[in-house]
């Protein structure tokens, strides 16, 4: 019959491994945290920034930066960055892929061996 090893033994071994190998530490600990943070906070931050610029659920806000941009470009082409921003601010599905890309970028940054704070 196999002996039962206490959880503290595994925790101590993991702690020693992460201290001895900082790159593994970055990959195992930081990367999932960055990715999770981007996935949870990303949509709110993205939509909040778009709202500040003037994109909203009801359309472009009068007198906003978004209204100024729209007045200079004229007719908004479907699929353009402006149309994308309006769709995202209105709660469109585009927010999910964008925050996934942001999370992937942060995950890559967190796992890059040369990254230091």
Return the domain boundaries, the chain.
Answer: 41-107
pLDDT in tens, 2-61: 667 777 888 888 788 878 887 777 677 777 777 777 777 777 778 888 889 999 888 899
pLDDT in tens, 58-114: 889 999 999 999 999 988 888 888 888 888 888 766 666 666 666 666 656 555 555
Res 10: pLDDT: 82
Q: Where are the beta strands (DSSP E) in the chain?
A: 55-56, 59-60
Question: Model's pTM, two decimal places?
Answer: 0.54
Do 89 and 2 form a contact (C-beta atoms < 8 A)? no
């Amino acid at each position: 019959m196999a002996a039962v090893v206490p959880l503290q033994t595994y925790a101590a071994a993991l702690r020693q491994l992460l201290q001895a190998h900082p790159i593994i530490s970055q990959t195992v600990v930081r990367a999932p945290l960055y990715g999770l943070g981007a996935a949870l906070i990303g949509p709110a931050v993205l939509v909040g920034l778009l709202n500040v610029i003037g994109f909203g659920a009801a359309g472009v806000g009068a007198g906003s930066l978004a209204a100024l941009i729209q007045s200079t470009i004229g007719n908004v082409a479907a699929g353009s960055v402006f149309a994308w921003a309006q769709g995202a601010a209105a709660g469109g599905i585009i927010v999910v892929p964008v925050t996934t890309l942001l999370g992937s970028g942060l995950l890559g940054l967190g796992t890059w061996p040369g990254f230091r704070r």
